[in-house]
């Protein structure tokens, strides 16, 4: 994924997890866990990953979401 695409995703997320999966039992509709930009692909607190929501991804930011590590792991299990 191009760095420009990652930057657009980060900007859209406002530095918060974008997970809206009902099975994750978020207190609101969205997780909104605060993330740290420099901790992409890190497992420590504030870490995050890019989750592919739709199969046809490419560089279309609508096919992806920024997920905290916890939501990313849960999503991988639920698939």
Q: What is the DSSP string of 52-79?
A: E-SS--TT-GGGEEEEEHHHHHHHHHH-
Cα dihedral sign for 15, 20, 22, 28? Answer: positive
pLDDT of residue 58: 76
User: Domain map of the chain by residue range?
Assistant: 3-78
pLDDT digits (tens, 9 = 90+) for 23-78: 888 887 899 999 999 999 999 999 999 999 887 767 889 999 999 999 999 988 75
pLDDT of residue 51: 94
pLDDT of residue 57: 66
Q: How far apart are CA 24 and CA 31, in angstroms?
A: 8
Full-model pTM: 0.89
59 HSE (CA, 13 A, CB side): 7
């Amino acid at each position: 994924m191009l760095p420009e695409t990652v930057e657009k995703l980060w900007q859209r997320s406002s530095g918060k997890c974008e997970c809206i999966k009902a099975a994750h039992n978020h207190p609101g509709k969205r997780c909104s866990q605060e993330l740290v930009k420099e901790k992409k692909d890190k497992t420590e607190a504030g870490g995050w990953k890019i989750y592919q929501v739709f199969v046809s991804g490419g560089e279309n930011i609508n096919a992806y979401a920024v997920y905290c590590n916890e939501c990313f792991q849960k999503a991988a299990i639920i698939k």
